[in-house]
Amino acid sequence: MDVDNRDKLIQIVKERGPVLPNDVHRELKTNTLFASAMLSELVDSKILCISNLKIGGSPLYYVHGQEVSLQNWANRMHEKEQKAFHLLRDQKVLRDIDQDPVIRACLRQIKDFAIPLEVNYNTEIELFWKWYLISNEEAEPLIKQQLQLVSQPASAQACAVEDTSTVSGGQPASRGELHPASSATHVQSLMPITSESSNDTGIDVVNSIESVSFHVEFGEKTEQTSTQYTDKRTARRAEIQESLLPPPDKSDTQFVLPVPPKNDAFFDEVTAFFAGNDITAVYFEVLRKNSEIDFLITLPSRVGPLNYYCRAKNKQKIND
């Protein structure tokens, strides 16, 4: 991408963002495909951001500071996802286990607006969702309220905000470390807790772009209970990570090839044609013996194998 087009594209996004490739290709005197490639290049260079939300199959591109404008496109989401969007926007923080299954599934899909939070509470780990525009400080009292910590003594509600560089640098945290919860887009390994308070209770927040974790502890812990707690926490964290992973792609479903029909000369003729032309039959269904068959086939190409639907008919002429 030449410098002129690059600067012009950045300026367009700054003025109009979030934008779609179709919004900028005319001014760049190119087509949508090349506009998409140019925008993607700027995303790779960390100059632009890209949304998980798709509009007509294309993501939105924007610069830092335009995140709030993503809400203007929320009406293009599925009806159920819009319901989860409005619920999270109104309440700011949602406790995952308190939501119905549909809302829980939708929260995992609206990744631009829902930030997963991992909360260690009474030797349990729970998953919360934070509205993407609120700060850690705003989320803390809302989580305490949902965990019914508002009635705890002042010492039990103490909050400490730590710098990520301090934790990652190996210095022990006074009240425990935080563990970013994995999102569907960025799955990260969780950091182990390096030290824990034996007789104090607190919420330690480490700033994270993707997610934040809160650590809440009560009472004294012996070495045995600490080990049990760590094992339980690790198992629960793995469970949360798995729940945040996207569902398997249905397009990867493997078809089981049916048993070829017997005494079907037309089927044998078609499969012989496929074999002679390097065509692979992925699936087939005989509609009428010796007359009509549906196939799912794979053809080789310069860009890799391509999948097609094929209907084979036993006719003398194509227009019969």
Overall average pLDDT of the 4-27 stretch: 89
| 113 has pLDDT over 90 | yes
* Number of helices followed by number of strands (H, E) in the chain: 9, 11
Structure tokens, 57: 């199959």
Amino acid at 303: V
Residue 217 and residue 48: Cα distance in Å, rounded?
40
Using a pLDDT cut of 90, give the percent of the chain over it: 33
Is the separation of the CB atoms in 52 and 59 below 8 Å?
yes
- How is residue 226 written in tokens? 């600490």
Q: Average pLDDT in the 141-159 region? A: 65
| Lowest pLDDT segment from 47-51, 68-72, 85-89, 191-195 | 191-195
Return left, alpha or beta for 108; rule: phi > 0 is left, psi -120 to 50 is alpha, else beta: alpha
Q: Residue 26: which residues within 8 A CB-CB, separation 6 or more?
A: none
pLDDT confidence of residue 255: 56
Backbone angles phi, psi at 280, to 5 degrees: -105, 125
| Res 208: pLDDT | 37
At residue 150 the predicted structure's pLDDT band, cuts being 50, 70 and 90, is low
pLDDT-derived band at 37, boundaries 50, 70, 90: confident
- Residue 77's pLDDT is 94
Mean pLDDT of the 14-25 span: 91
Identify which of 14, 65, 6, 72 has the alpha carbon closest to the alpha carbon of residue 39: 6
pLDDT of residue 248: 60
Give the pLDDT confidence of 194-209 residue by residue, as tens digits. Answer: 333 333 434 444 333 3
Q: Average pLDDT, whole number, for the chain?
A: 75
Task: State mean pLDDT over 51-64.
Answer: 92
pLDDT of residue 80: 94
Query: Is 85 or 238 the better-scoring residue by pLDDT?
Result: 85
Q: Which residues contact 48 (CB under 8 A, 6 or more apart)?
A: 10, 13, 39, 42, 61, 62, 63
Q: What is the pLDDT of residues 240-264, one digit of tens each?
A: 777 777 666 555 445 566 788 888 8
Determine the average pLDDT of the residues in 20-37.
85
In the chain, what are the domains? 3-73 (1.10.10.10), 77-244 (no CATH), 252-313 (no CATH)
227 or 137, which is more confident: 137
